[in-house]
A and B are shown apart, each in its own frame.
Chain A
Amino acid sequence: MQGTLDMLILRTLLLGPVHGHGIARAIEQTSDDVLDVDHGSLYPALQRLLQEGWITAEWGVSSNNRKAKFYSLTRSGRAHLRKETSRWERFSRAISQILNPARQE
């Protein structure tokens, strides 16, 4: 789901500016390769987030001296992430409660 991808990207950027390839790699790693996607499908999402004003982009140089575009979180992006995370958590808690009623006690 695209909404989920948005959140994963925003979360990755919480730690600081990252370029597109880095974001793809980070998502692969943090989500245990569960949300494995084509790296290419990251770019529409990035453009959308730019459009919403949640992230900004700037050309820079990667650790191995390659030119790359670095993305960073804006203030409104941070706020959005916070809001979405709490909603997401509530939602996933609800789902897990439905799926695992026994664990509730």
Chain B
Amino acid sequence: MSWKSALARGLGFVRGNDARSRDLQAEIRSHIELETDENIERGLDPVEARRAAFLKFGNPQLAQESSQAMWSVPTLESIVSDFKYGFRMLKNAPLFSAVAIVTLAAGLGSSIGVFTVANAVLFRKLPYPDLDRIVLMWGGDRKTGERGQVSFTDTEDIRSRNRVFAAISNYADWTPTLSGQGDPERLAATQVSNGFFDVLGIKPSIGREFTEEENIDGNDNVVILSHNLWTRRFNADPGIIGRTILLNAVPHVVVGIMPEDFETLPSTLVQGGELYRPIGESYDDTQRRAEHLRAIARLKPGFTSAQAEADVERIARELESEHPKEEADIHYSIASLQVDAGHELRPSLTILGWAAAMLLLIACANVAGLLLARSNNRQKEFAMRSALGAPRSRLLRQAFTESLILATLGGAIGIAIAEVAARMCVLLAPKLGSSLVKVSIDTTSLAFGGCAVLLTSILFGLAPALQSAKANISSAIKQGGQNKEVSRGGQRFQSLIVIGEFVLALTLLTVAALLVQTFVSLQKVDVGFRPERKLLMNVWLPSMKYKKPEQQVQFFDELIRRVAHLPGVKSAALVQNPPLGNFDGRAILPEGRADIPQNLLSPQAYFITPDYLQTMEIPLLQGRGFSAADNESGQLVAIVSQSLANRMFPGQDAVGRKLQLLSDKKIDGKYPSRVIVGVVGDIRHLGPDARVTPGLYVPFRQLPVTWMSLVVDCESPSAIVPSIRGELRTIDRDVAAFKISTYEDLLSDSLLIRKLAMGLISTFGGMALFLAAVGLYGLLSYGVSVRMREFGVRAALGALPADLVKLVLRSGLKLVLLGGLVGIVSSAVAGRFAASVIAGTIPPDVLTITTSFAILAGVAVLASLIPALAAGRANPASTLRTE
């Protein structure tokens, strides 16, 4: 279409179809008048001439209507018929449709899923008034540029000297134990300083905020409850205001309750907001570097983050000149809360986003290939429709309608996949140490999905649609429905994509196989203790109530005594730092080994009750275990693990030797000696995929602490939890049990990252394999459909069907081999990379790569088989007849 007619058409649209109709009407009238004139010239009288002219013209109304039908605003009716026709075509080719839809669902599903998570994490507007004025203030060092937390005193100086903030406040995580009513519970709470709720712009809906006096140490035993905690623990009783609740066994007065729709800061900044309490620090020049707080502020209207940063920088330099030692090189950066909230997750989401986009592109390329193959087979149909008067635009529209149907169906399934994936993200996030509050498909992600569907249908539908519209009757009929004009470039491009898909599939399959093998072997690893039938429960004593070691010992002795007598319990013990928990290395000095530098040996220290080794079924190799006699009044003793014994006294008997534990209290300015009374087996403290950790065991009574973990060996670990809670309550209602889990669950959680990586890579590997198979199938089918005449001629010249099948299979296998060769190299590299990222993953070996390649080749043969068999059916008679 020339630019002039395009312009005219555009103008036509602007003028509207009314004007066009009138124009057409005038034209038809003029036509009839011209005919009448001619008839009069021929000698007819004017009335007869006019009648004949109308007769000749036919029905003007009909002419007008059917002319208008040609205008390009399609009528609803024709769109409906396009869709009906499209559905019928897809139903007639169920295999093709299913493959195309699943392919698109995979691509669209992953894209929508990643978008949904990204949208929730990065783009969702946090529900605070004037959100764009809320900023985070990070401390840090001017030289290194690292950002970190801030001190209370510095924040107070910035509060009093700044010109940009309407409010500024510190906040920090706090995990108190709530007791007194019902089961004691550990809460995810936040400590805040003056002005926190002013910064967020939301006030308690019942009661009041903290006063300035309440922020001072000593007056700070006040709390504001979240709506959730208030309803969950206090039955939404408004009378709670003014009453006291016990937090860490200390009474706190409830002064306020937050509104129901109030949302605490994002989980990337705080662990939770079940209740709020003042920080209770005071201005102290010596505490300028006590940087254990975070800061959040609200800008005055009209100020930008950059202006705020400049102003805070000015204050920082003032502080530096006033306190040159403490404030050297101090630097504060200001970042918008909205932008910063998703800061941590941004890189991984970016990578995921690109991966999903790539997957979608590959899916598009594949479906385009499939459609091309099909449109080639449908050439005759399109040619026929064109011959019957369908304008090119209509054929294009038809082809796009079919693409759109495919994409929409794929998108619908994709959205379902994305919803499941998003839910899994939410489920898994806390276990991975980060949390996503609410992630689910919403209108925004639906809109994104809609756009993606439209865009992809254009992307993969364009080439096939153009080809359909090129259809013309003569060549189509002459060639028996085959288009001879194959775009060589297009073919080569598609071959490249297919090869790339095979490389990707082989790489992912190999890595997945390595991860699976690693995982299976890890299941068999001996962790050094028996995880079966074990329950682990953390117990934290409120330190205000249990100040003296005797009190702690008394509580824990009582706990053990009671739990050990519960029905079904084989044995029970206490340990600080149980296996699969944190690493807590304690420096020791073996006696007689002055050559070993201090701090070189810092084994994992376990403070245990006598029954611990027996409860965990850790084997005693030499000497004896602890007994009740190994208490505060007995001799200081220790048990070491095999590997620690070997390191301290290689080739010698460790039992009877001595060591100093640098955590012991000095007696007369010297660390007391502990006698090694036994050697036990090593355990893998950090999980089955970690190395054995040298371990040191010390009787708990000789070094008491306020928090311990209870380990119970019993028939049904999860069923006994309520009884243990009951015992805890009987001893002290202020003590909470938390992080309760069976050891088997803990063990499986310790492999969670591995499981996740394995699941993800296997899924992607499977998806890549499927896409590669679809790509190959599409490419070969297209090739076969184009070469059908050639195959017919070959058959006529004596080629057997088997030869033709082999011919196609060979061309498919050629691509697979090419992809395989590159893939072997890339999977070797990727396998090594995986081993470096996920420690302990077995390195790629020949067998694994060969097996993956065999799977790949098998799938490729299957994908090639359908088009190959079609080639084998080439019929010389029909080919020659159409020649």
Query: A: which residues have CB within 8 A of B?
Result: 1-3, 19-21, 24, 38-44, 46-48, 50-53, 56, 62, 64, 66-69, 74-76, 87-88, 90-91, 94
Contacts and interface: CB of A to CB of B under 8 A. Distances in A.
Given A3-B386, A41-B58, A52-B392, A66 B37 contact: yes
B478 A43 contact: no
Contacts of B62: 40
B2 interface: yes
A90 B474 contact: yes
Contact of A87 (B8, B57, B472): B472
Contacts of B67: 43-44, 46-47
A96 to B, nearest CB: 14
Contacts of B6: 53
B24 A43 contact: yes
A83 to B, nearest CB: 9
B71 A3 contact: no
Contact of B389 (A3, A47, A68): A3
A46 B63 CA distance: 11
A66 B72 contact: no
Interface string B392-407: 1100000000000000
Nearest to A89: B474
Contacts of B26: 67
A39 B66 contact: no
Nearest to A22: B34
A14 to B, nearest CB: 17
Given A68-B34, A87-B474, A40 B63 contact: yes
A41 B34 contact: no
12 contacts: A2-B389, A3-B386, A21-B35, A44-B63, A44-B69, A46-B67, A50-B9, A51-B391, A51-B393, A52-B392, A53-B5, A74-B2
A3 B37 CA distance: 30
Contact of B31 (A21, A44, A51, A53): A21
A38 B57 contact: yes
A51 B72 contact: yes
Contacts of B70: 44, 47-48, 50-51
Most central of A40, A44, A67 by chain B CB within 10 Å: A40
A41 B63 contact: yes
Nearest to A84: B472
Nearest to A90: B474
A24 B35 CA distance: 10
Most central of A19, A53, A75 by chain B CB within 10 Å: A53
Contacts of A67: 26, 30
B2 A76 contact: yes
B27 interface: yes
Given A20-B27, A66-B33, A40 B58 contact: yes
Interface string B371-409: 000000000000000111101110000000000000000
Nearest to A5: B389
Contacts, number: 113
Contacts of A40: 28, 57-60, 62-63
Contact of A56 (B8, B57, B66, B68): B8
A69 B28 CA distance: 9
B66 A69 contact: no
B750 interface: no
Interface in B26-45: 26-28, 30-31, 33-35, 37
B37 A64 contact: yes
A42 to B, nearest CB: 8
Contacts of B63: 38, 40-44
Contacts of B23: 69
A74 B5 contact: yes
Contacts of B35: 21, 39
B56 interface: yes
Contacts of A53: 1-2, 5-6
A87 B5 contact: no
Nearest to A23: B31
Nearest to B37: A64
Most central of B4, B33, B67, B388 by chain A CB within 10 Å: B67
Interface in B67-98: 67-72
B57 A39 contact: yes
Nearest to B6: A53
A73 B25 CA distance: 22
Contact of B30 (A46, A56, A69, A94): A69
Contacts of A51: 9, 70-72, 391, 393
B475 A87 contact: yes
A35 B60 CA distance: 20
A38 B72 CA distance: 24
Contacts of A90: 474
Contacts of A48: 70, 391
B66 A44 contact: yes
A43 B63 CA distance: 6
B64 interface: yes
A44 B478 CA distance: 29
Interface string B48-62: 000000001111101
Q: 5 tightest A-B contacts by CB?
A: A53-B1, A38-B58, A40-B63, A2-B389, A47-B70
A16 to B, nearest CB: 17
Nearest to A4: B387
Contacts of A43: 24, 27-28, 63-64, 66-67
A69 B22 CA distance: 13
Contacts of B59: 38, 40
Contacts of A41: 58, 63, 66
Contacts of A44: 63, 66-67, 69-70
B473 interface: yes
Nearest to A25: B38
Contacts of B8: 56
Interface string B471-485: 011110010000000
A97 to B, nearest CB: 13
Interface string B590-624: 00000000000000000000000000000000000
A30 B739 CA distance: 96
A94 B30 CA distance: 41
B53 to A, nearest CB: 9
Interface string B174-205: 00000000000000000000000000000000
Nearest to B55: A38
Nearest to B33: A66
Given A20-B27, A21-B34, A56 B387 contact: no
Nearest to A77: B2
